[in-house]
Amino acid sequence: MSCDVEINPLVLTSRLLTVELAGTGARDRLDVPLRWRLVSSGAIAQDGVVERPVLTLEGLVPGIDYTLAVEGFNDLEFVTPPESAFIDIRDHGALETAADNAEALAAAIATAPEGATLYVPPGVWRTGPVFLRSGLFVHLPEGAVLMAVSDRGAYGVLEAFGEDGRQQASWEGVPAKCYASVLTAIDADSVTIAGKGVIDGGGAEGDWWEWPKETRDGARRPRTIFANRCTQLKISGLTIRNSPSWTIHPLDCAGAVFADLVVDNPPDSPNTDGLNPESSTDIEIVGVRFSVGDDCIAIKAGKIWPDGTVPAPTRNVSVRHCLMERGHGGVVIGSEMSGSVTDVSVAFCTMVATDRGLRIKTRRGRGGQVARIVLSDCVMDGVGTALAVNSHYFCDPDGTSDAVQNRAPAPVDATTPKIADIVLMRTEARNVHHALAYVLGLAEAPISGLTIKDMTVTYAPDAVADVPDMALGLPALRHAGIITENVIAPIIMGIIQPTDTIKERA
């Protein structure tokens, strides 16, 4: 192993620790399983074998000194934080036989001082939406299932704006009424949701998937976890599945960590993106395994509101050691990006059978910029197109209009989106179906700073020609290399592939 390896603590609570085994060069799995042990007061408290670059340990005791030892790493010494209260939901009336435990959970949370643990014990606990508060650790240990009820009547509605006039809920980048999520946190600091349990969003049990783009009773579908204006949000160890729409949606959040999760939605569930950080900063996504019905990770920054408000930017996003299976895209930026998305790093990830690997999508009228995006040291296997950049994405009712789709230069103004400094490097793309890269800029705002280098590419023998992205007039491609249009001086070097397939479209 490299001398730069280290045990990087990501989430530490009174009863749980999630770490990253950083610097190994591994992607979503370690090359060789490693033994580990947890020691306290000179005795082994736990031990085992880790096969992935993330590890979650639960069953810790508050206020205790521990040492975590992993083969080939320096030991990590840590002290679990104190716990102000331990609150078992059963003590507030929660029952496995109850049709809806939302009131019991709310009663338990109401008693929780800052620094408390809300304990959801092993068992299946049905609930409607639950609202979290600052300083709370929601602990779902192995065997615990928080199961969303299917009755839409049990879901309160979040108004587009709160009483203070600030945005409270959103849908596809603009304020809108939405049903409250299974777990909802608004204006909350230092909330942690963690453990080896399960949160089931109940998507298949209700009617949520029958109306993906509509409203019912005046509101849009809920997420499974929604956080608005939260700081230091941390979610780790859990399996989160069966989401009604987007699975995890942080909006206007700062300093969030999502680690060692399984996000699992059926492949035919509509718009069930895995993780959608929107208008948020300083986000870490580490060791998450995605298999979803839409994009695995969709990084967004809203759309210009009807009153002309430009949403806040998204910046400083780090994606590491993730596995992304199926889905429309592995890591997707946009199409809601009016506030700008910058400084995104995707490294040491694996993408399997996603329609695209790294995908950037926008259109005239969105404004904002996408800049300083780097994907490196990844493996893509069976993807349609490894890098897709589309400035003519046909979203919204006018998406196929001439104003959006015309390839002639349009006037440049504040609503002209800009794309710059996109890097794809040191990555192996196996069994590509359509193209290694398809990059389409605007004639009036060409893409600059595109770099594709040190790539190894092979093509799927059973590939069928298809368009690389969603815009009018794109060619159907099979086994194409790198195709660019309206891109200024791209840097393309070190590409190992069967044929010379790098060209600029006329």
Whether the pLDDT of residue 499 is over 70: the answer is no
Q: Which amino acid is at 452?
A: I
User: Residue 251: what pLDDT?
Assistant: 98
Check whether 504 has a pLDDT greater than 70.
Answer: no
Question: What is the tens place of the pLDDT at every residue in 137-196?
Answer: 999 999 999 999 999 999 999 999 999 999 999 999 999 999 999 999 999 999 999 999
Examine the residue annotation and report whether 355 is marked as an active-site residue of this protein: no
Residues 280 and 303 in one domain: no
Residue 503 pLDDT exceeds 90: no
The closest alpha carbon to 406, from 419, 423, 391, belongs to 391
> Which residues constitute the domain of residue 399?
297-506
Q: Do 334 and 225 sit in the same domain of this protein?
A: no
Is pLDDT above 60 for 491? yes
| Whether residue 107 is found in the same domain as residue 49 | no
CA atoms of 10 and 83, how far apart (whole Å): 19
**Mean pLDDT to the nearest integer, 479-502:** 88
pLDDT value for 218: 96
The pLDDT value given to residue 4: 84
Catalytic residue, chosen from 249, 328, 392, 434, is: 328
Tokens of 37: 């042990």
| Structural domain ending residue among the three candidates 79, 107, 142 | 79
Please check the confidence at residue 497 and state whether its pLDDT lies above 90.
Answer: no
Among the options 252, 260, 294, 381, which is catalytic? Answer: 294
Mean pLDDT, residues 295-321: 98
Q: Quick check: helix, strand or coil at residue 89? A: helix
Residues 38, 89 within the same domain: no
Domain boundary, last residue among 79, 102, 132: 79
Please state, in angstroms and rounded to a whole number, the distance separating the CA atoms of residues 58 and 157: 34
Tell me, yes or no, whether 1 lies in a domain.
no
Spatial distance between the Cα atoms of 233 and 341, rounded to a whole number of angstroms: 20
Looking at the fold, whether 29 and 109 belong to one and the same domain comes out as no
For the chain, give the percent of residues with pLDDT over 70.
Answer: 98
321 and 174 fall within a common domain: no
The domain spanning residue 408 has which CATH number?
Answer: 2.160.20.10
Lowest mean pLDDT among 285-289, 464-468, 495-499: 495-499
**By the 8 A CB rule, do 374 and 348 touch?**
no
Residue 57 located in a structural domain? yes
Output phi, psi for 485, to 5 deg. -145, 130
Q: Which sign does the torsion angle of CA 325, 327, 328, 331 carry?
A: negative
In-domain check, residue 269: yes
Residue 280 has pLDDT above 50, yes or no: yes
Give residue 432's Cα distance to chain centre: 24
Clarify whether residues 282 and 335 are in a common domain. Answer: no
pTM (2 d.p.): 0.97
| 123 shares its domain with 14 | no
We report the CATH number of the domain holding residue 39 as 2.60.40.10
pLDDT tens profile 406-453: 999 999 999 999 999 999 999 999 999 999 999 999 999 999 999 999
Question: Would you state the structure tokens that stand for residue 13, as one six-digit string?
Answer: 């609570």
* Distance, CA of 108 to CA of 7 (rounded, Å): 35
471 beta partners: none
Looking at the structure, do residues 329 and 211 belong to the same domain, yes or no?
no
- SS3 track for 342-388: EEEEEECCEEECCCEEEEEECCCCCCCEEEEEEEECCEEECCCEEEE
3 pLDDT higher than 60: no
- In-domain check, residue 153: yes
Q: For residue 1, what pLDDT is reported?
A: 55
What local confidence, expressed as pLDDT, does residue 374 receive? 98
- Same structural domain, 272 and 198: yes
Mean predicted confidence (pLDDT) in 375-382? 98
- The arithmetic mean of pLDDT across residues 76-88, rounded, is 98
Give the count of domains, the chain.
3
Which of 294, 319, 335 finishes a domain? Answer: 294
Element (H, E) at 65: strand 65-70
Q: How confident is the model at residue 506 (pLDDT cuts 50, 70, 90)?
A: very low
Of all residues in the chain, what percent carry a pLDDT higher than 90? 96
- Known active-site residue 377: no
The Cα 360–Cα 339 span in angstroms is 15
Domain check: are 267 and 323 in the same one? Answer: no
| Shared domain check, 304 and 245 | no
